Amino acid sequence: MVLVAGEPGAGKSRLAREAAGVAARLGMRCCWGRATDEEGNPAYWPFRQVLSALDRAGPPPGTAGPGAGADQGTERRAGVGGGPGAAVGGEQGAGVGGGHGAEVGGEQGAEVGGEQGAEVGGGQGAGVVVPEAGGPVMAGADGAEQRFRLFEEVRELLAVGGEPGGLLVVLDDLQWADEASLRLLVHLARGMGGARLAVLAIYRDTEAGQPLRRALASLAGEASVTRMRLDGLAEAEVGDLLAGVTGWPAPGSVISAVRRRTRGNPFFVTELARLLGGEQGDAAELPEGIRDAVRGRLGRLSAWCGRVVSAAAVLGSTVDPPALAAAAGWELTRVLDALDEAVAAGILTGPAAIGAFTAPGPAGAFTGPGATGVFAGPGPAGAFTGPGATGVFAGPGPAGAFTGPGASGPFTGPGPAGVFIGPAGSGASGAPVGPAGSGASGAPVGSASSASSREAVEGAVGQVGAAGGAGVRPVRAAGGAGGPVRVGGAVRVGGAAQGAGLWFGHDLIRETARLEVPTAERLTLHRRMAEHLIARVDATSRASEVAFHLLESLPAGDAALAAAWVERAAGQAMAQLAWEEAATLYGRAVAVAADAGLGGPERCRLLLAQARAQVRAYDMAGARQSVLGAATLAREAGDARTIGEAAMIMEGVTDFVWDATGKALYAEALAGIPEQDSALRARLLAQTAVNDSWTPFAEAEARSAEALAMAERVGDWQAVKEALRARQLARSGPDGVTDRLALGDRMLAMGEADHDEDAVLWGRLWRFDALAQLGDLDGAEAELGPIATATGRLRSPLAHWHALRCRAAIALARGRFDDARTLGEQTLELARRAGHEGSQVPSLGFLTIVHTQTGTPQTESTGRQDAQGQGAHGEGARGEDAGGGGARGGGARGGGATGGRAEAGGAEAGGDGGGGARGGRAEAGDAEAGGDRGGGAGAGDAVGGRARVGGVQAGGVKWPVEETVGHGKGAVALRPVWAMWLLAAGRRDEARQVYRTLPPVSSVPGFLLLSTLAGRAELAAELGDRETCAEVYRALAPYAGLFACGGAGVVAVLGSNRLPLGQAAAALGRLDDAVRHLRAAAEINDRAGMPPMAAFARYELARVLARRRRPGDRDEAAALAASAGAVARGLGMAPLAGRCAELSRSLSGRAAGPLTRREDEIAVLVSQGLTSRQIAAAAHISERTVENHVQHILGKLGFTNRTQIATWIAAGRPGPTGTGTERTREGGRD
């Protein structure tokens, strides 16, 4: 897959045409799809065009691929397996560089399968282009699963279409593609594997919206994807292009002026060249703006032609002559005359032949249907012969010209561009495209009366009036709205608006022409176009077009009618799994409904539909607003049931922002509906219990049990599933760990029995969480594969978030910090895009833990993230252990400083200066980078507003923890890790300020209890809070056999609870208990395969043994410190490595030789291979100070590089041999 970016007119499409020519010469097929900026296009529009072209072409030899059973064997399936160079497609019908084969199709000239009307032969492709036609494959599947299956079907169709010679898919103008198409593109990139498939995706990076940017970010890490950008032409190249267009070498002043005004943009250069015409002009005569140039070119059209072109520009990027005539109230023949003039002037262009000749077989014969017969040849003399409508074509002659009688005259050619031209008439064939002898002749087209509609379309002639052929009158025949209409070489069947026809040569031409139409006339055109479409028999299937024109007709048009058609189009988008498009359309319908004066119930219904689509699309912020709007309307109507239904739309995706509001809505609905058993009541009770998970568990226990019993009585599967989720959260405290494992097994079994991937996923996730808390890390890791499988099938962003957080937790526990950081950044980006704080908070907390443990002050991240998937089922992540858990890297002895400039009392990771404000610069004002507002209620005045813990970027988004530590439950969840980070950074006073705001342990919900206790033990021990240490020890002691992590939505597993118990015991002076717990913690973490936590435990044990000072304690402590330090160095845990080195020196009592103690410490860190930045983080000094120390060490020892320092340390610090031998030891002072 190659992604080609550039500004409009940079030559992207021309590059694609050239690539198609290469592909044809290599024997590949080629299909085109193009997005447009018109709202009326259906979902998956670029891929619809591709699949339609592939379906028409038929399956490759020996396969039953696209279009199976749809006229496979007929000669009309031109280009299928017909030898080298057969190509299906071709943007705008341009030739493929003289390759061996006939081009079949055209970028916009293809009949569109499925909903938009034109037939696709009834093959498999139809069911994919239009999902609802897919039959049993879609039956009973969840929406997200349906979309996954749809994407897989498309991928498989394209893979089959690539056999045996390969398939090139060109997707143009992706900046306008709907989000569903972009998600399909990402899916395709990830599943290309060994398929004989190449995808060339073209887009304007100057107009890339959020959906495209998200897709590009998702594609950034894919091995199959290559990206390139087209920049402007150099001045010499501009001169060559000017000469090629005008026919004369332009003066240097003109070339320079053109280059300056166009920045080398090829399209702009060409437009200015056309204004210069055939005479050498002056630089002063050139227009300043490209729109002025285009406007000047439009001004050369006749007044009537200009009016028709402007009207066509209003109605869309493609031109449907009968529809245009109907909308404008003009005679069709006059419209055709004007369009002919526009084609000749290069304002409009048309498709190439879309079905006629196959490539030459072994005997070199060309065969294929013409209008009334079959052409065969060449013969021995190279002559093409075959019956036309009125005569026989023969040629080529010595000059390469094809000659032969038509109805009214001979055909001659080729022209300058290799285009064969000639007059049409009654029954006469049209103009083959391609140079003589190339074998690339196009398909002659006969009259309307001599061929069926299907044959007429497939025999459409190629582009006429292209470069070199300007001024040639295109072929056309008279026809009414009910028959084929031929304009500019294109044949239209029944005036279908999508598919074959004409389109503007460039979007800037269309936009400039559109602006020439007065507003009132524009609104009238849209209204009359909508009326024309509504009157058609296929109006329902073209709801998106109708809706577009009705919306564009407002405010003069019928608002109520517009709302109805927009709703219909949105419903079709939902059926096609294009949830993002559906959400947008429902939003338009809501707005129009209000203007139309529709009642509250109608608007409420539209808002509920919009909210459902937004939840599917994981637009949680938008869904919240839609639900609240619907609830308000329902409340005004006194409809409690609808309030409940509105609240339940957020079922399974609750978060901090929604919890309080949701709980109020659940209570309001429960009070208003009958108290008898019902599925709705059971679900409302379950959701209430979910919200109660933040409160003491008595209420959650009772309500979840009641909800499950009621759901089982009424026999509603969805209600049972939600009640099980409520039970899982109600039992998410450490006492319920075995119950949660059983609940996970039950949910998993039910999901597998009913083929419900959503239930399967949650069963697996619950098992993962329970196994992690039980300390069975191997068992938890074994769940990752099944979780990934279920996530892949669901393609839900929230499901993907959970899969990522599970992988991140395992990576952190195993000590794979680079993987953990990357995965954490991906989870954060997913959560931020969705506006889902329930996932943002644990992601931020997790990243804080990673950076605290590694002490790596990064300034940027890879920014790679995965947004593939849709829907939003299941449980919203809780603040969980990432909020409560200790970072295991702080401490009074100096944790791993993330360093940085102090901004408003905060720290920015990655700068100079140590922790706190030392060596930093103060900056006033708040900083905002996409998180929630607030300066950290815990930070108070000491932090001074919102400190930036920035520098780190996740997916291009700044990562400041404090921006979320501002309010509500997010603040409660993140303050502990924020305090730990401050402590690790050496900002002890600020850490103490945050620590004082932490809620009492007794108020912490069960699913956060163990992670909170573990973090609180470490903080209290380091800050000397003996009272809290005693409280934490009592609370944690019953769970000594479990691991420190949350009970729902595990993000970080911080090892055996024996470690925080040992820290608390040591702080209380109970050294024997501390030794017992810490020794057990090291062994348990070793068995679990958690080297980071085992190293932490050994370091803490060494500290306690050094304090206890019994016989053998000092030697054991030294050995433990050395062992922990070695592990820390190997894993890249610079803070812990530095503390272990410091402890080892204090235990050894070793004099530092010629170095001061500080210099000796720096030398040890240098010997470990740490960079100056990492040493600065470990030693809590600036990077510049580190460099100064290194220079002093080199001077004292007589060395010249760091390698010599490392060798000296490894050799046991022998006496220096250089100039430093005369230096005296400085008493170990800094």
Residue 1191 maps to which CATH number? 1.10.10.10
The parent domain of residue 1039 ranges over: 999-1148
pLDDT confidence of 407, banded at 50, 70, 90?
Answer: very low
pLDDT for position 737: 96
Same domain, 1194 and 1079: no
Does residue 253 fall inside a structural domain? Answer: yes
What is the distance between the alpha carbons of residues 788 and 808, in angstroms, rounded to a whole number? Answer: 13
Q: Which band of pLDDT confidence, cut at 50, 70 and 90, is reported for residue 911?
A: very low
Q: Taking the model in full, what pTM does it have?
A: 0.54
For residues 620-624, average pLDDT: 87
> Are 1073 and 1193 found together in one domain?
no
Distance, CA of 31 to CA of 145 (rounded, Å) = 27
Residue 161 domain flag: yes
Measured on CA atoms in the order 530, 534, 537, 543, is the torsion positive or negative? positive
Backbone φ, ψ for residue 153 (5° rounding): -65, -45
Higher pLDDT, 1172 or 698: 1172
**1105 and 1047 in a common domain:** yes
Q: Is residue 680 part of a domain?
A: no
Is pLDDT of 943 > 70? no
Query: Residue 654: its pLDDT value, please?
Result: 56
Mean pLDDT for 646-670 is 79
pLDDT category at 579 given cuts 50, 70, 90 is: confident
Instruction: Verify that 36 and 157 share a domain, yes or no.
Output: yes
Q: How many domains does the chain have?
A: 4
**Residues 272, 254 within the same domain:** yes
Asked whether 76 and 83 are in contact (CB, 8 A), the reply is no
Contacts made by residues 763-769, CB under 8 angstroms, sequence distance 24+: 764/790, 765/802, 765/806, 765/874, 765/875, 766/728, 766/740, 766/741, 767/741, 768/806, 768/1050, 769/732, 769/740, 769/1045, 769/1046, 769/1047, 769/1048, 769/1049, 769/1050
Rounded CA gap, 564 and 270, in Å?
45
At residue 1094, the pLDDT reads 97
pLDDT in tens, 440-484: 333 333 323 223 322 322 222 222 222 333 332 232 333 333 333
pLDDT in tens, 82-95: 333 333 333 333 33
Count CB neighbours of 1071 within 10 A: 18
Whether residue 1010 is predicted with pLDDT greater than 60 in this model: the reply is: yes
Which residue, 1127, 1148, 1169, sits at the end of a domain?
A: 1148
- pLDDT of residue 573 exceeding 60, the answer is yes
Alpha-carbon distance of 841 to 831, in angstroms, equals 9
Same domain for 1077 and 1162? no
User: What is the distance between the alpha carbons of residues 826 and 834, in angstroms, rounded to a whole number?
Assistant: 13
Query: Residue 1071 — very low, low, confident or very high, per pLDDT cuts 50/70/90?
Result: very high
Residue 801's CB is within 10 A of a number of other CB atoms, namely 31
Asked whether residue 1062 falls in the same domain as residue 1205, the answer is no
Same domain? For 43 and 165 the reply is yes
Does the structure show a pLDDT above 50 at 1224?
no
**What CA–CA distance (Å, rounded) separates 1054 from 813?**
7
Average pLDDT on 845-873 reads 56
Q: At 697, is the pLDDT very low, low, confident or very high (cuts 50, 70, 90)?
A: low
Query: Which tokens in the block code for residue 831?
Result: 């959560």
CA 817 centroid distance within chain: 25
Task: Calculate the CA 48 to chain-centre distance.
Answer: 21
Report CA torsion sign: 81, 82, 84, 87.
Answer: negative
- Per-residue pLDDT band at 1140 (split at 50, 70, 90): very high
The enclosing H or E element of 33 equals strand 29-34
* Together in a domain, 242 and 220: no
Q: What end-to-end distance do the CA atoms of the chain give, in Å?
A: 59
Per-residue pLDDT at 1168: 77
The residue assigned the tokens 């319908």 is: 589
**pLDDT top residue among 962 and 1210:** 1210
In a domain, 665, yes or no: no
Q: How many helices (H) and strands (E) would you count in the chain?
A: 48, 14
Q: Does 440 fall in a domain? A: no
Residues 1101 and 1167 in one domain: no
Give domain status of residue 987, yes or no: no
Same domain assignment for residues 1019 and 1137: yes
Task: State how far the Cα of 353 lies from the Cα of 299, in Å rounded to an integer.
Answer: 31
Residue 419, SS3 per DSSP: strand
Please name the residue that has the structure tokens 């892949």.
792
Distance CA 756, CA 799 (A): 14
* 3-state secondary structure (DSSP) of residue 357: coil
Decide if 97 is inside a domain.
no
> Which residues make Cβ contacts (< 8 Å) with residue 1051, sequence separation at least 6?
805, 808, 809, 842, 843, 845, 846, 877, 880, 881, 882, 1045
CA–centroid distance for 169 within its chain: 20
In this prediction, residue 1003 carries a pLDDT of 82
CA–CA dist 823, 829 (Å, integer): 10
Q: What are the tens digits of pLDDT across the range 118-130?
A: 333 333 333 434 3
Mean pLDDT score, 33-37: 86
**114 lies in a domain?**
no
Same domain, 1006 and 1119: yes
DSSP string, 1108-1148: H--TTHHHHHHHHHHHHHHHHHHHT-HHHHHHHHHHHHHHH
CATH of the domain at 1006: 1.25.40.10
- Can you give the pLDDT at residue 406? 35
Confidence of residue 1105 (pLDDT cuts 50, 70, 90): very high
